[in-house]
Chain A
Amino acid sequence: EVQLLESGGGLVQPGGSLRLSCAASEFTFSSYAMSWVRQTPGKGLEWVSGISRSGDSTYYADSVKGRFTISRDNSKNTLYLQMNSLRAEDTAVYYCAKDHGASSFWFDYWGQGTLVTVSS
Chain B
Amino acid sequence: ERVMTQSPATLSVSPGERATLSCRASQSVSSNLAWYQQKPGQAPRLVIYGASTRATGIPARFSGSGSGTEFTLTISSLQSEDFAVYYCQQYNNWPSFGGGTKVEFK
Contact = CB atoms under 8 A, between A and B. Distances in A.
A61 B14 CA distance: 39
Given A110-B45, A112-B43, A45 B87 contact: yes
Nearest to B100: A44
A98 to B, nearest CB: 10
A105 B97 contact: no
Interface string B47-59: 0010000011000
Interface in A34-75: 35, 44-47, 59, 61
The SS class assigned to the A binding surface is: strand
Contacts of A31: none
The SS class assigned to the B binding surface is: loop
Contact of B44 (A46, A100, A104, A110): A110
A9 interface: no
Interface residues of B, number: 20
A97 B40 CA distance: 18
B55 A110 contact: no
B43 A44 contact: no
Interface string B85-99: 001010100111111
Contacts of A104: 91
Given A106-B46, A110-B44, 10 more contacts: A45-B44, A45-B89, A100-B49, A104-B91, A106-B32, A106-B34, A107-B34, A108-B49, A110-B43, A112-B42
